[in-house]
Amino acid sequence: MQDLDLEKIKVEAKGEIENAGDLAGLVLIGKKYLDKDGVLGEFFKSLGKLSKEERAEAGVKANEIKQYLAAVFEAKSGELEAKNIEQSGQNFFDTTLPGVAPAVGHLHPFTLIEREIGEIFSGMGFEIAESREIETEWYNFDALNVPKDHPARDEFDTLFMEGGLCLRPHTSPGQVRYMENHQPPLRIIVPGRCFRRDAVDASHMPNFYQVEGLMVDKGISVANFKAVIDEFFRRFFGGAADSKKAGGGGNIRLRPSFFPFTEPSFEVDLRCVNCSGSGCSACKGTGWMEVMGAGMVHPAVLKNSGVDPSRWQGFAFGIGMDRLAMIKHKINDIRLFYGGNQRFLNQF
């Protein structure tokens, strides 16, 4: 009786599978016969009523039929899929098509600017030095000849922490630390992140990036500084900052200023890279753009760093990398660089 039931199931299931007209109908037939709650599933459940010998024999045969019907099912499924492909004229996977490459990110424009600056100064013999972002008041101010009553040391300007520490408002402490551990002559730049209590607007952020430079040797003068910085801007901005294209009048100009850590001190203006000095909205019609502060290192700073000011002289300068990025890419709002807008950042 069991043999007859199995043979009947085999014949009926095989016929229905082979006569299926589409994949949806085939799936229903497969569930009818091959699922655990299907016809064969119910047959397996009924084996418990048989004797041990009959149960073993019927179970083996039922498994053989289930495997046979599964093979018939797979063959019919492949046949119907091929038919669908032929009728639609499409192939699910064309091995001749090129692969789809995943989207690849890239470095932030500030990182790219920092690396470019590093490459230019490295080409002029400068070493890239790194320093800490959390500093003591000594390295942030005292060693740099900044007096106790200077406005920069007020809590309205500097972010102070517990234990006499503060977030560095400039990368100058890195220069002092370097001189403490290295003897002149030396040439370094110190790039990095700085912090100040600035209100957020189109040109200010409490977090910003700066690169400072230092050159100490015998007989160093302002002329050496001008030569180095003029060459830097020529390479960084390309032809737009070429003094020859600027009418031969020079690429930079120095204006007298005051910084506690340099003497003499001066502000450095760059001939406008947009109009070559003729005057435009970017330079407010002056033909010049203010880009950095600089000067000859104050003897007190050299002394505080363990360098004999009677034997060695040098110059130092500080440039805002954010500012350079804005000028180079003609961006009028610094907040765009910090906003995380992918459409903006993917331009660089």
**pLDDT tens digits, residue range 135-192?**
999 999 999 999 888 777 776 678 888 888 999 999 999 999 999 999 999 999 999 9
**pLDDT band at residue 90 under the 50/70/90 scheme:** low
CB atoms within 10 A of CB 305: 22
Angle at 302 between CA 225 and CA 218, to 5 degrees: 50
Token pair recorded at residue 58: 């019927």
Give CA separation, 21 vs 38, 70, 74, 76, 83, in Å.
21, 17, 14, 10, 10
- With tokens 């100490």, the residue in question is 216
**pLDDT band at residue 299 under the 50/70/90 scheme:** very high
- Bridging pattern class, strands 288-297 and 313-320: antiparallel
**pLDDT band at residue 319 under the 50/70/90 scheme:** very high
Give CA separation, 164 vs 143, 172, 194, in Å.
15, 18, 18
With a cut of 80, say whether residue 86 has pLDDT above it.
no
Measured CA to CA, the distance from residue 191 to residue 128 in angstroms comes to 8
What's residue 248's pLDDT? 42
Give CA separation, 257 vs 50, 116, 294, in Å.
106, 28, 9
What's residue 1's pLDDT? 41
What's residue 155's pLDDT? 64
Which pLDDT tens digit goes with each residue over 245-277? 444 446 889 999 999 999 999 999 988 887 877
Which pLDDT tens digit goes with each residue over 5-32? 778 888 888 888 888 888 888 888 888 8
Average the pLDDT over each of 89-103, 110-124, 290-304 and give the range with the smallest value.
89-103
